[in-house]
Amino acid sequence: MNKIIMIAAATENNALGKDNTVPWNLPDDFKRFNKLTTGHKTIMGRKTFKSMPTLLTNRAHIIITKDKNYKVAFDECIVVHSLKEAIALVANDALSFIIGGGEIYKQGEKFSNGIELTRIHTNFENADTFFPAIDLNVWKLVSEKHHSADDRHASAFSYLTYTRK
């Protein structure tokens, strides 16, 4: 079965970031993101792709944009013009990931059968991008692991794994 997982880090008020940046640094979460997504196709919006400092190694990047003239000069990147096109490209894959941004998560939820959410235990009031609210009538929390704040992580956070009911 084809699994499409939405993976994100969001605060208690579902904030993902502002001005295409994230206001936190969670090294352990980034390691987890890399471990889970390496070797799989990643689906993202153009703004998310442009916000990345480098390409994600050992992952195909499927970039969604409405701009018909948008080009990316990397073999690891495929440009499409709708989420439906992106989903078609992962139809035969055992596992793929939707990695952002807010609008792509909102559209992608109906295609997803899982969510890997890092819930950052703080609020970010000035955000302009948000993760969709998780409807517990649709999603079941199946795993939760807490990570305390420490010298490398200013905020505590929890890894939450949801599956579709």
- CATH number assigned to the domain comprising residue 108: 3.40.430.10
Locate 66 and state its tokens.
């409405």
Give pairs for 138-144: CB < 8 Å, separation 24+: 138/164, 138/165, 139/115, 139/163, 139/164, 139/165, 140/164, 140/165
CA distance 9 to 16: 7
- Under 8 Å CB-to-CB from 2, ≥6 apart: which residues? 90, 91, 92, 93, 94, 95, 96
Per-residue pLDDT, 156: 98
Dihedral, 21, 22, 28, 29 alpha carbons, nearest 10: -90
Instruction: Pinpoint the alpha helices (H) of the chain.
Output: 27-37, 46-51, 83-89, 102-108
In the chain, how many domains are there? 1
Measured in degrees and rounded to the nearest 5, phi and psi for residue 110 equal: -70, -20
pLDDT tens per residue across all 165 residues of the chain: 789 999 999 999 999 999 999 989 999 999 999 999 999 999 999 999 999 999 999 999 999 999 999 999 999 999 999 999 999 999 999 999 999 999 999 999 999 999 999 999 999 989 999 999 999 999 999 999 999 999 999 999 999 999 999
Whole domain around residue 95: which residue ranges? 3-164
Residues 26/48, Cβ–Cβ less than 8 Å: no
Hey, CA dihedral for 127, 152, 34, 70, is it positive or negative?
A: positive
